């Protein structure tokens, strides 16, 4: 009996010691900031410390005995996590792995794991133990830093949108859009103009303009500058009016959205939409990223907005200048054409004056010549003379060269050809007005005018012409 009591006392003592050891181990596990989870060979949770409870929002009691991938692993990562678990079960430990945990509020936290296994005396794996560190905040800061760095080098609206849309697309968004804002005289948004969509071609056409004054939800969008508006379920959100619900779901095919109104220096510049096709719950981790994005992107959009307006102004001014240049060229062409017409008219007048036909009386015409006679003027002289003979039915032509200061071989030839042409038309030619200097030049040059009737002056020539026609002049 004594031995039995001693044995019972020994067992009790061992049980107390074991409980104390368990409590001490429990206290140590809960005191550490690291996440510690233990799984059995099937992947069911057998241990879950307070750090895990704090991160996930679940208590150990809620998850004890549950398969870890049914509760904590994202659907898209389940296959990868199960593969790591199988490797640990097969004795391939320790190892490291990084994956997200799904929290009770449907958020996600990124954890870096160091995994190992506890084996029995036969070396068979009994438990898988993971020690993890929540790097969500580090990842968030790193992501924001990368986004900020990338935004400093963007050169277009599309590149801006691609940077901002990246975390949303990673969270299941199906498209995103960036619009510039046009304000009224009071600075209130009245129009939006679509300037970028991502993926390209989704969610509207570039250049589409929408009147914000006719869209009740716009007041909610622009309630506070650079503060995102989260709508997790369009159809069931009491802030969304019925007309807006219809537009958002039927025209833009979205069920959830994040709206980012962007302002710089208290002036509205743009608005970004990040859209989901299904209702979506935005976790605190998601909001910690999206809450910061408007402040990062607003100055970039403002600068790009300014550049775009300057480019537009330059384009418009260039077009105006081109139009002015075209008008100037047209005006210059018209001026040149008009000048040419004036010159041609002047030349015609000069030509007419240079070889004027003067009808003295019936069948007698006079051509007084002044200045030098070149080949061009000689042609005009002959053409004018022949036309005058025909027009006035002239029988006698008096060529008066009183105003011709120089007569050389060329001038003599021109005059001779003209006289011959007149003879062919049936008209006789009298040459008058030969000065002493011209007479000397003709003799010195050996020019033969013996076959041409030459007279001293125009008066004498006119009297001879009348005599040849059987007419006389008398005083009354």
Q: What is the DSSP string of 274-311?
A: EEESS--PPPHHHHHHHTTHHHHHHHHHHHHHHHHHHH
Say if residue 97's pLDDT is above 70: yes
CA atoms within a 13 Å half-sphere pointing along the CA-CB vector of 435 = 11
- The closest alpha carbon to 377, from 356, 398, 397, belongs to 356
Span 132-189, pLDDT tens digits: 999 888 887 888 888 888 888 888 999 999 999 998 998 899 999 999 999 998 889 9
CATH number reported for the structural domain that contains residue 258 in this entry: 3.30.450.40
Of 134, 163, 181, the position where a domain reaches its end is: 134
- Is residue 270 assigned to a domain? yes
Per-residue DSSP letter, 342: H
Which pLDDT score is estimated for 24? 57
Which pLDDT score is estimated for 106? 83
Which pLDDT score is estimated for 31? 67
Q: What is the mean pLDDT of the chain?
A: 86
Calculate helix-pair angle for 136-151, 293-354, nearest 10 degrees.
10
Whether residues 117 and 146 share a domain: the answer is no
Which pLDDT score is estimated for 23? 55
User: Predicted confidence band at 222 (pLDDT cuts at 50, 70, 90)?
Assistant: very high
- Is residue 2 assigned to a domain? no
Which pLDDT score is estimated for 339? 87
Peptide bond into 199 cis (omega under 30): yes
Show the domain range for 114: 32-134
Q: What is the mean pLDDT of residues 180-204?
A: 89
- Is residue 332 assigned to a domain? no
Whether residues 105 and 174 share a domain: the answer is no
Where are the strands (E) in 396-452, listed by range?
396-403, 428-432
Q: What is the mean pLDDT of residues 281-294?
A: 86
Whether residues 175 and 39 share a domain: the answer is no
Number of domains comprising the chain:
3
Per-residue DSSP letter, 248: I
Whether residues 305 and 249 share a domain: the answer is yes
User: Predicted confidence band at 284 (pLDDT cuts at 50, 70, 90)?
Assistant: confident
Q: What is the mean pLDDT of residues 348-372?
A: 76
The proportion of the chain whose per-residue pLDDT surpasses 90, expressed as a percent, equals 37
- Cα separation of 226 and 73, whole Å? 33
Q: Are 418 and 382 in contact (CB under 8 A)?
A: yes
Whether residues 259 and 376 share a domain: the answer is no
Q: What is the mean pLDDT of residues 461-475?
A: 80
Buried b (16+ CB within 10 A) or exposed e, 130-146: bbbbbebeebbeeebee
Whether residues 95 and 128 share a domain: the answer is yes
- Is residue 101 assigned to a domain? yes
CATH number reported for the structural domain that contains residue 369 in this entry: 3.30.750.24
- Is residue 375 assigned to a domain? yes
- Is residue 457 assigned to a domain? yes
CA atoms within a 13 Å half-sphere pointing along the CA-CB vector of 395 = 11
Whether residues 127 and 38 share a domain: the answer is yes
Among the listed ranges 14-18, 88-92, 296-300, which one has the minimum average pLDDT value?
14-18
Whether residues 242 and 305 share a domain: the answer is yes
172 or 8: which leads in pLDDT: 172
Q: What is the mean pLDDT of residues 411-432?
A: 86
- Is residue 151 assigned to a domain? yes
Instruction: Give this prediction's pTM.
Output: 0.54
Of 309, 337, 365, the position where a domain reaches its end is: 309
Q: Alpha helix locations (H) across 187-292?
A: 218-221, 242-246, 284-290
Which pLDDT score is estimated for 458? 87
Whether residues 79 and 149 share a domain: the answer is no
Whether residues 121 and 225 share a domain: the answer is no
Neighbours of 124 (CB within 10 A): 11
- Cα separation of 161 and 115, whole Å? 39
Q: Alpha helix locations (H) across 171-207?
A: none
- Cα separation of 235 and 256, whole Å? 9
Of 82, 112, 134, the position where a domain reaches its end is: 134
- Cα separation of 134 and 467, whole Å? 135
Span 55-81, pLDDT tens digits: 999 999 999 999 999 999 999 899 999
Among the listed ranges 131-135, 267-271, 351-355, 372-376, which one has the minimum average pLDDT value?
351-355
- The closest alpha carbon to 34, from 49, 20, 17, 19, belongs to 49
Whether residues 304 and 169 share a domain: the answer is yes
Which pLDDT score is estimated for 35? 92
Angle (CA) 50-55-58 rounded to 5° is: 70
Which pLDDT score is estimated for 406? 75
Which pLDDT score is estimated for 63? 94
Whether residues 215 and 146 share a domain: the answer is yes
- Is residue 401 assigned to a domain? yes
CATH number reported for the structural domain that contains residue 102 in this entry: 3.30.450.20
Which pLDDT score is estimated for 17? 56
């Amino acid at each position: 009996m004594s031995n039995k009591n001693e044995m019972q006392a020994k067992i009790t003592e061992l049980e107390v010691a074991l409980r104390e050891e368990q409590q001490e181990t429990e206290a140590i596990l809960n005191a550490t900031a690291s996440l510690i989870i233990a799984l059995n060979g099937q992947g069911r949770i057998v241990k879950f410390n307070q750090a895990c409870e704090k991160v996930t929002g679940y208590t150990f009691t809620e998850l004890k005995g549950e398969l870890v991938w049914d509760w904590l692993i994202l659907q898209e990562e389940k296959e990868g996590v199960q593969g790591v678990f199988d490797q640990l079960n097969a004795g391939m430990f320790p190892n490291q792995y990084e994956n997200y945990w799904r929290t009770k509020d449907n958020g996600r936290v990124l954890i870096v794991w160091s995994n190992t296994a506890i084996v029995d005396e036969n070396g068979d794996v009994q438990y898988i133990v993971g020690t993890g560190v929540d790097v969500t905040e580090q990842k968030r800061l790193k992501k924001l830093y990368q986004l900020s760095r990338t935004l400093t080098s963007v050169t277009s609206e599309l590149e801006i949108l691609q940077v901002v849309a990246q975390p949303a697309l990673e969270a299941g968004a199906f498209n995103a859009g960036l619009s510039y804002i046009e304000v009224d005289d009071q600075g209130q948004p009245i129009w939006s103009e679509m300037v970028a969509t991502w993926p390209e071609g989704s969610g509207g056409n570039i250049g589409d303009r929408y009147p914000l004054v006719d869209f009740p939800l716009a007041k909610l969008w622009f309630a506070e500058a650079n503060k995102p508006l989260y709508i997790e379920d369009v159809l069931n959100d009491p802030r969304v009016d019925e007309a807006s619900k219809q537009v958002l779901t039927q025209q833009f095919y979205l069920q959830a959205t994040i709206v980012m109104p962007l302002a710089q220096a208290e002036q509205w510049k743009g608005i970004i939409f990040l859209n989901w096709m299904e209702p979506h719950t935005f976790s605190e981790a998601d909001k910690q990223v999206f809450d910061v994005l408007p402040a990062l992107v607003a100055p970039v959009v403002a600068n790009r907005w300014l550049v775009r307006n300057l480019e537009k102004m330059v384009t418009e001014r260039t077009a105006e200048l081109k139009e002015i240049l075209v008008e100037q060229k047209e005006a210059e062409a018209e001026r040149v054409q008009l000048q040419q017409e004036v010159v041609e008219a002047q030349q015609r007048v000069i030509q007419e004056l240079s070889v004027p036909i003067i009808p003295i009386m019936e069948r007698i015409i006079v051509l007084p010549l002044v200045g030098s006679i070149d080949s061009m003027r000689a042609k005009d002289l002959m053409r004018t003379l022949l036309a005058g003979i025909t027009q006035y039915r002239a029988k006698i032509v008096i060529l008066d060269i009183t105003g011709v200061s120089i007569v050389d071989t060329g001038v003599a030839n021109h005059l001779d050809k003209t006289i011959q042409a007149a003879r062919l038309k049936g008209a006789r030619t009298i040459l008058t007005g030969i000065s002493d200097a011209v007479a000397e030049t003709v003799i010195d040059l050996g020019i033969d005018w013996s076959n041409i009737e030459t007279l001293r002056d125009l008066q004498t020539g006119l009297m001879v012409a009348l005599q040849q026609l059987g007419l006389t002049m008398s005083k009354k």
